[in-house]
């Protein structure tokens, strides 16, 4: 559930495409 008051950039920052830590996982 995404609250309508949520910050759009907060929502965007959950993208897997922005999570570079997977580059380092085995």
Partner 1 sequence: MGCASSKRSKRTPGYEEPTVLAAETPFTVSEVEALYELYKKLSNAIIADGLIHKEEFQLALFRNRNRRNLFADRIFDLFDVKRNGVIEFGEFVRSLGVFHPNAPVADKIAFAFRLYDLRQTGFIEREELKEMVLALLHESDLVLSEDVVETIVDKTFTDADTKGDGKIDTEEWKEFVSKHPSLIKNMTLPYLKDITLAFPSFVVASEVEE
User: How far apart are CB 14 and partner 1 at their closest, in Å?
Assistant: 7
10 neighbors 2 (Cβ within 8 angstroms):
no
CA end-to-end distance (rounded Å), the chain: 32
User: How far apart are CB 16 and partner 1 at their closest, in Å?
Assistant: 7
Mask for 1-26, x = binds partner 1 (CB under 8 A): -x-xxxxxxxxxxxxxxxxxxxxx--
User: How far apart are CB 1 and partner 1 at their closest, in Å?
Assistant: 9
CA dihedral 17, 20, 24, 26 (to 10 degrees): -20
> Contact positions toward partner 1, by CB under 8 A?
2, 4-24
């Amino acid at each position: 559930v995404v609250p309508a008051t949520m910050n759009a950039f907060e929502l965007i920052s959950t993208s897997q495409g922005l999570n570079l830590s997977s580059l380092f996982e085995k």
